[in-house]
């Protein structure tokens, strides 16, 4: 099933220049994932790196992982 970014996620993608293909890449080969501290049982945080070297944080709905809640570029963080 194709990914379904929320309106908020689409806005963040535009603002941050993140392509849907980059999100797909991270979700297919995550570095790590864990339950959201703010919404445990509802959202999962997925961290990974794209083939282009971008480090992304992708938040998905736990019971429906095709729904992307938000996305951020963490490339500048240690």
Q: 44: number of CA atoms within 13 Å, CB side? A: 15
> Which pLDDT does position 55 carry in this prediction?
96
Task: List pLDDT tens digits, range 17-70.
Answer: 999 999 999 999 999 999 999 998 999 999 999 999 999 999 999 999 999 999
pTM: 0.93
Shortest CA distance to 31 belongs to which of 57, 52, 5? Answer: 57
Provide the pLDDT confidence category of residue 1 given band limits of 50, 70 and 90: low
């Amino acid at each position: 099933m194709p990914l379904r970014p929320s309106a908020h996620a689409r806005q963040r993608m535009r603002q941050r220049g993140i392509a849907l293909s980059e999100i797909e890449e991270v979700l297919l080969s995550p570095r790590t994932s864990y339950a959201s501290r703010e919404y445990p049982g509802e959202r999962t945080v997925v961290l990974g790196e794209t083939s282009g070297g971008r480090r992304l944080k992708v938040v998905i709905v736990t019971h429906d992982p095709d729904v992307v809640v938000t996305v951020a570029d963490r490339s500048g963080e240690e």
